[in-house]
Amino acid sequence: MTNKEQNLVVEREKVIAWLENNVPPARVEHILGVEQMSKELAIIHNADVEKAKTAGLMHDLAKYFPADQLLAMAKQKGIEIDEICATRPHLLHADVSAIVAEDTFGVKDKEILSAIAQHTLGNARMLPLSSIVFVADKLEPNRGDTKELNTMREIARENLYRAVYQVCDIAIKKLIQKGRPIHPRTVATRNWAMQAGKC
């Protein structure tokens, strides 16, 4: 094992130990599922496998931070807090997870930090690494074994952008069913991915 690989193993163990103290066991399972699926999609779509695994492992670091902490940390880092995020600070957990990845675990790589920050709402023109983690978050094995999810998993292997677009559709439908606001970034992500995937 090279020094770099050894460091990554040590770092991964540190992150998992941190997660075990900060998120419930079922969420740790979900996170490990996202790490695994991000790795698989990175191999298929020729993205950096180590970056995909790191972003997958760290995407939900701030998932259980209280609303006031999410707002305070986002504000302190100058992250834009729009009206929807101000009323639903939980949506900031993606941006704040990227802050924790950088400040607590020393992650400097912009691609990894963006993939973490964009995993909930997506972003128009997001990089392949961000698209991989966005899709893996919604489709990792612990999300279930329905026909719809399995079809989506196939699509994610064949056409990453089509998967992004369809994942947005499912999220938007769910939000409508629950009578919740839809963040405009997810609509922009959907429209962009439709073009990018020639859907």
The footprint of ligand ADP (CB under 6 A) covers 90-91, 120-121, 171, 175, 180-183, 186
From the list 96, 105, 100, the residue with the least C-alpha distance to 74 is 96
Report how far residue 106's alpha carbon sits from residue 96's, in angstroms, rounded to the nearest whole number. Answer: 14
Q: Which is nearer to ligand ADP, 51 or 183 (CB)?
A: 183
Q: How many CA atoms lie within 13 A of 194 on its CB side?
A: 8
Report how far residue 15's alpha carbon sits from residue 50's, in angstroms, rounded to the nearest whole number. Answer: 14
Measured from the CB of residue 184, what is the shortest distance to ligand ADP in angstroms? 8
Measured from the CB of residue 2, what is the shortest distance to ligand ADP in angstroms? 34
SS3 79: coil
Q: Which is nearer to ligand ADP, 3 or 87 (CB)?
A: 87
Measured from the CB of residue 183, what is the shortest distance to ligand ADP in angstroms? 3
Measured from the CB of residue 6, what is the shortest distance to ligand ADP in angstroms? 31
Q: Which is nearer to ligand ADP, 21 or 87 (CB)?
A: 87
Structure token digits, residue 6? 């050894």
Q: Which is nearer to ligand ADP, 13 or 29 (CB)?
A: 29
Q: Which is nearer to ligand ADP, 72 or 175 (CB)?
A: 175
The string of DSSP codes covering 150-164 is HHHHHHHHH-HHHHH
Measured from the CB of residue 90, what is the shortest distance to ligand ADP in angstroms? 5
Q: Which positions ≥6 away from 127 have C-beta within 8 Å?
A: 111, 114, 115
From the list 30, 38, 43, the residue with the least C-alpha distance to 55 is 38
Measured from the CB of residue 171, what is the shortest distance to ligand ADP in angstroms? 5
Tell how many helices (H) and how many strands (E) occur in the chain: 11, 0
Q: Which is nearer to ligand ADP, 8 or 84 (CB)?
A: 84
